[in-house]
Structure 1
């Protein structure tokens, strides 16, 4: 059974409007595309996601993880508003030794976060979305974009920070949960897929650079494509 995560109940409701209501920290089984999946709302952020994903991955019947949600785009020419993206990598740029400008050297403390598959995990996870989607029997949509995710503890509020993160992480979409969800799946040894729809321009607080409703509509379409029978 696949574990399908969103950070918020709104995202879960957008993705699966016919599913039972799921609140933060709750799960519910649901028939999607002819299969039973376990829907779980983690709450926003790395900490909530790590705690809940770890809790639910203890179940022996969970054999894959799908992380759904919305995200900001660092360059709306690369990742247009409303577009669906799947993560080819996730970086947590705040892990490590911070310099005066807030940039982190992930090896500066000398402690890797973990070891999996014979490799140490520092602040970046290289993912295999096409392979893992196939392993889980999921369909990636035509025209979906392969993007590098940047997982932050606090949403980027200035263009200057957005520029730094885009450059240092080769980032294309910003979120608050992807690294934690991927990390939990990798430690558990199960396939993982992260799909997000673009809701805003990272670093801008201008209303014209945001379209949450459009991103949620796109998330519904993306979930339909993923779980097409």
Structure 2
């Protein structure tokens, strides 16, 4: 089963009948049974990431996980990465780095590219490393939830990801923020302490702000800009 072999009708059948009303762990079990080693999880180390790492380790110990190390993360995120490697020790967690370091990017494109041209910065520091890595796989897992923002309200369990020419699986689409945190607390999972300081969605430090009461979970990402996504998702 690949992107090129699945029709839109077959994708709809998977979402509406095969995976409909399935729990997240059931969706993951089906995904690993279907794709095996051709399936990878791209984890941003957010709260949803902790849930998925926990569920994936139960369903498929030794699964491949990738983390985009842009070189611009909060120090708390890098500390969490160490904690995650220790806690989920059976998983194969690989950090991907961009072609240029932050200093090399500054020399080539000028200082604070993320403020002047955030799309270009995300392209080089996120999209290109991920695109290169995903070329080795048939499908990838993401922690998108429908509740997170208006741009994600129609996210399906499985869909065609033409950006990376593979299939994309989102097991947590029906989970609420409360569901995510209940799971983290119940399972005593590690998480980024910035979540306790009104950072529900955490990306690179220069482009992530606190969220005000009443705003959606991702309103702190690229705050004050037209940009709402880094280009990795639908």
Structure-2-length-normalised TM-score: 0.27
Greater RCO, CA 8 A, separation 6+:
1
Which structure: greater strand fraction?
Answer: 1
